[in-house]
Structure 1
Amino acid sequence: MKREQLDTITWTTRAAARTAIFDFIESWYNLHRLHSSLGYLSHADHETTLAA
């Protein structure tokens, strides 16, 4: 997770922290991280290529 988010947010429960981590992974990390199984494309780029 981005350092700015970790330094500025205090979660009141483990569930809230878990939700924030899940949202980060699903909204940024998996969409932008390059994957060797996709020809070193991100998921978003791979989906765009398939749709074209």
Structure 2
Amino acid sequence: MSTWFMPRSRRRRRSTLEAINRDGDSGAVREDLASFAERERIVRTAEYLAIGS
């Protein structure tokens, strides 16, 4: 399936899942993945946790 029309995030999800299926891990796309710290910032974990304080 051609991915030229897919939004970037959808292409990245697909390529990550393809790598995991093919290799058993996401190492082949490591550079495209967010770090845990970036993920925490993106989903605003600190702000969410502050609500319960």
Question: Which TM class, normalised by the smaller chain length?
Answer: 0.3 to 0.5
TM-score (norm 2): 0.33
TM-score for the superposition, normalised by structure 1: 0.33
